[in-house]
Amino acid sequence: MAKFRRIGVLTSGGDAPGMNPAVRAVTRAAIAAGTEVIAINRGYSGLIQDDLKLFRSTDVSNIISLGGTKLYSDRCLEFKTEEGMAKAIATCKENHIDGIVAIGGDGTFRGARDLTERGVPCIGITGTIDNDISSSDYTIGFDTALNTCVQMIDRLRDTCESHARCDVVEIMGNGCGDLAIYSGIAVGATQIITKEIPFDEDKMIAKMLKARAEGKRNFIVCASENMTGEFNEALAKRIQEKTGIETKFARLAHVQRGGSPTYRDRAMGTLMGYKAVELLLEGKSNLVVVLRNGKIDSMDISFALDLDKYYKGKMSAEEIAAIAPDDKKRMDEIVKEKRATIERAYMINDTVSI
């Protein structure tokens, strides 16, 4: 077992409900193993600016039910520079931080990989409401955000029903359609719109007109953010023009990111936090803790980042050609499985909703 004097823990990128339970688990697991814990505030910015605090067990008391992140968060541009990285490494050396658990999304993992490469072993934990980390079937915060979306949309539906209206609801996701798809399923959305699946506007209009003719009063359209510019707002106007159904536009925005974590996010935060410390103390690094097929596991961060880039279609032909054949085979399997999962969920909603 590797000797660790101190483990650092940080949260970075968009905050997510469940980060606090993860921070609590990391802190208590490390202390139980005889290691000190340094809380790094404001993500990688805190590492650069030496914004640290020695955590005792009681510092994480009662945070299991809190939304947001007790460690605060940041999207740190300076960390992407060699100068910023050098300051971060100096902070680790001066404060005897022998390893770091970094909780966040892909930007956080790129930082963790770069730190590991420069001699500070890191383990990542998937924490973002978007569920957009291809290496994991689940990211901490997704369930709470989904439940918030469902509650908000249920409220919109009440008023749509009273006034025989339609609501186009814009849902976060940073390019990933999971929040829109699964909240759409849970509210019985007439239409789900995401980047991953082609959208047929004429088909949607025909579906709405048919349902209205049959007596349906309310319509909900769950649309992912950033389709193209103001696409969703313009869509609401077009629906009204083409169907004659009064249509409102609602952007749920950051309300989706707040709130007390659900059972699932408390449990996942706790289990993943513990696993991250276990891996670090086993002397492992450059891994991200993931959920795959119902099991908490880990994956090489560099592979996870490449997989993400590949899945999101952001890799050049040259980069794809450079992937080792075994890795490429594994990536293709995961991509196929993920696409099939969302396409089926989308198809089911399309069939059972009117």
Count other Cβ atoms within 10 Å, centred on residue 7.
27
Stretch that binds ligand F6P, among 23-31, 126-134, 300-308, 335-343 (CB under 6 A): 126-134
CB of 130 to ligand F6P, least distance (A): 5
Least Cα distance to 186 among 150, 237, 234 occurs for 150
24 binds ligand F6P (CB under 6 A): no
Candidate residues 78, 117, 174, 292; the one interacting with ligand F6P per rule CB under 6 A: 174
Instruction: Give 264: exposed, middle or buried? Use CB within 10 Å, 0-12, 13-18, 19+.
Output: middle
- Residue 220 contacts ligand F6P per CB under 6 A: no
The reply on whether position 252 binds ligand F6P by CB under 6 A is no
Stretch of 113-121, 169-177, 214-222, 346-354 lying at the interface with ligand F6P (CB under 6 A): 169-177
Q: Which letter does DSSP use for residue 57 in this model?
A: G
Please identify, among the stretches 66-74, 166-174, 211-219, 336-344, the one whose residues bind ligand F6P according to the rule CB under 6 A.
166-174
- Strands annotated E in the chain: 6-11, 36-40, 52-55, 97-104, 122-126, 166-171, 191-193, 219-224, 247-251, 287-292, 295-300
Angle between helices 82-94 and 106-117 (to 10 degrees): 70
Task: Provide the annotated active-site residues.
Answer: 130
Q: Collect all residues with Cβ–Cβ distance below 8 Å to 326 and sequence separation of at least 6.
A: none
Cα gap 151→143, rounded to integer Å: 12
Among 51, 106, 130, 167, binds ligand F6P (CB under 6 A): 130
Contact 274, 30 (CB under 8 A): no
Among 128, 139, 144, 191, binds ligand F6P (CB under 6 A): 128
Question: Least distance in Å: CB of 105 to ligand F6P?
Answer: 6
* Chosen residue from 257, 301, 331, 346 binding ligand F6P by CB under 6 A: 257
User: Which residues of this protein are in contact with ligand F6P, per CB under 6 A?
Assistant: 14, 105, 128-130, 172-174, 225, 257
